[in-house]
Amino acid sequence: MKVLVAMSGGVDSSVAAAELRREGHDVVGVTMRLWGGESDTGCCSVSDVDDARRVAQQLRIDHLVFNFSDDFDAHVVNPYVDAHRTGTTPNPCIECNRHLKFDRLSRRARLLGFDAVATGHHARIERQPSGVWRVIRGADTAKDQSYVVHMLDQKELAYTLFPVGHLTKAQVRERASELGLRTATKPDSQDVCFISKTGGRETFLGHRIPFRAARVVDETGTELGSVDAVELVTVGQRRGLRLPGGAPKQFVLDVDVATATIVVGDEARLERAELHADRVMWSHEPLPLGSEVMVQTSAHGATQPALLDEVGADSVLLRWRTPQRRTAPGQSVVLYDPSDRAVLAGGIVR
């Protein structure tokens, strides 16, 4: 097969390219240039492109750079800023996968005659006996990334390869070392690639939106204090609220950007019986009402069982088996089958 492998300059995608090469595929590596601004981490810096190119050279495959910065701004950076402006908590890595890796890049790959696109995600793709394609959790449960690639539909699943999904991270690093790849010991990327460590989220957003001070109140409306930027506060947050010490720990229960008000209370007050999600994408067909699913609400969070209470055109209402802590609006929620192995759907918390 002729495979285009997305190489970020990290160890996982380096080994993904190596695995495909070892299997005898005709492999071309590509690094996407996404962010044109200041950055010190993630997949956009020149040194990461250098790493990807050097690995490709060592593997004797061609390496290209595609400039997709226009789509990255439009679909990842601008929505990230807008989300903060409107008081929700976005997940830019998921939007990047949705709009860049598994849309713009795969469209480009098809156009150029490739048979598949590959990435270094720790997840697997299986075709079930029924013929339905599913994303399956990666073999390394601690590094599983099925949550961030949940948006793959049948068409994309049939076109995508995850060559390291069956390996543990330790095995990936071992293979990179054996091959003498310079990325073998490179640390995992952790942060949002377009936010620099020195400035952080506050500086990044501060250059793009005006921060508004907000009142911090308890559930009865009594004012307890204030913060400088309502845009930087997230549901469930405990630190950085500048509340007087000595009192019981207070958590953010709600953020109302319109009135610049932050409601705080005891942790127990965050518990919810249900969760509403919009922009839901089913990887195949929607499940019937009443089906039990396992639900994950953060990249490496635990999953919890829930029942499908309502299924709309692109929304779902989930009823938790036992009440769960509220998830911040804007976060992604991913539904797995009852064995907690295969991705069924994903959406955005309302």
Nearer of residues 32 and 275 to other proteins, judged by Cβ: 32
**Residue of 347, 339, 350 whose CA lies nearest to 136:** 339
33 sits near other proteins (criterion: CB under 8 A): yes
Nearer to other proteins, 35 or 251 (CB): 35
Among 74, 112, 158, 213, binds other proteins (CB under 8 A): 112
Judge whether 44 counts as a catalytic residue: no
Residues 6+ apart with CB under 8 A from 54: 182
Could you give the CA distance from residue 78 to residue 92 in angstroms, rounded to a whole number? Answer: 10
Q: What phi and psi, each to the nearest 5 degrees, are found at residue 266?
A: -65, 155
Asked if 299 and 148 touch (Cβ cutoff 8 Å), the reply is yes
Strand ranges inside the chain, DSSP E: 2-6, 26-33, 62-67, 116-118, 123-127, 133-137, 160-161, 214-217, 223-227, 251-256, 261-265, 271-282, 292-296, 303-311, 316-325, 332-336, 343-349
Catalytic residue, chosen from 43, 44, 93, 193, is 193
Q: Which of the following is catalytic: 43, 44, 93, 96?
A: 96
- Specify the amino acid at residue 330: G
- What are the helix and strand counts (H, E) for the chain? 9, 17
Determine how β-strand 26-33 pairs with β-strand 2-6.
Answer: parallel
Q: Is 241 in the site for other proteins (CB under 8 A)?
A: no
Nearer to other proteins, 100 or 135 (CB): 100
Binder to other proteins among 6, 49, 161, 176 (CB under 8 A)? 49
Stretch that binds other proteins, among 13-21, 108-116, 149-157, 256-264 (CB under 8 A): 108-116
Toward other proteins, which CB reaches closer, 67 or 78?
67
- Kindly tell me which residue out of 31, 146, 297, 324 binds other proteins, with binding defined by CB under 8 A: 31
> Among 22, 53, 186, 341, which residue interacts with other proteins (rule: CB under 8 A)?
53
Residue 62 within binding range of other proteins, rule CB under 8 A:
yes
Strand 2-6 to 271-282 pairing: unpaired
- Tell me how many residues contact other proteins (CB under 8 A): 16
Taking the complex as a whole, the smallest distance from the CB of residue 278 to other proteins amounts, in Å, to 31
Q: Catalytic site residue 193?
A: yes
* Contact residue for other proteins among 24, 60, 111, 244 (CB under 8 A): 111
Three-state DSSP class for 218?
coil
CA atoms within 13 A on the CB side of 217: 14
Stretch in the footprint of other proteins (CB under 8 A) among 41-49, 84-92, 218-226, 326-334:
41-49
Task: With contacts defined by CB under 8 A, name the span among 57-65, 160-168, 189-197, 334-342 that binds other proteins.
Answer: 57-65
CB of 248 to other proteins, least distance (A): 51
96 binds other proteins (CB under 8 A): no
For tokens 């990887």, the residue is: 283
- Using the contact rule CB under 8 A, the part of the chain among 59-67, 138-146, 250-258, 328-336 near other proteins is 59-67
Q: Is residue 74 within the footprint of other proteins (CB under 8 A)?
A: no
**Residue 247 backbone dihedrals phi, psi, to 5 degrees:** -75, 165
Query: Alpha-carbon distance 148 to 135, whole Å?
Result: 11
Active site members: 96, 193
Residues that bind other proteins (CB under 8 A): 31, 33, 44, 46, 49, 53, 62, 64-67, 69, 108, 110-112
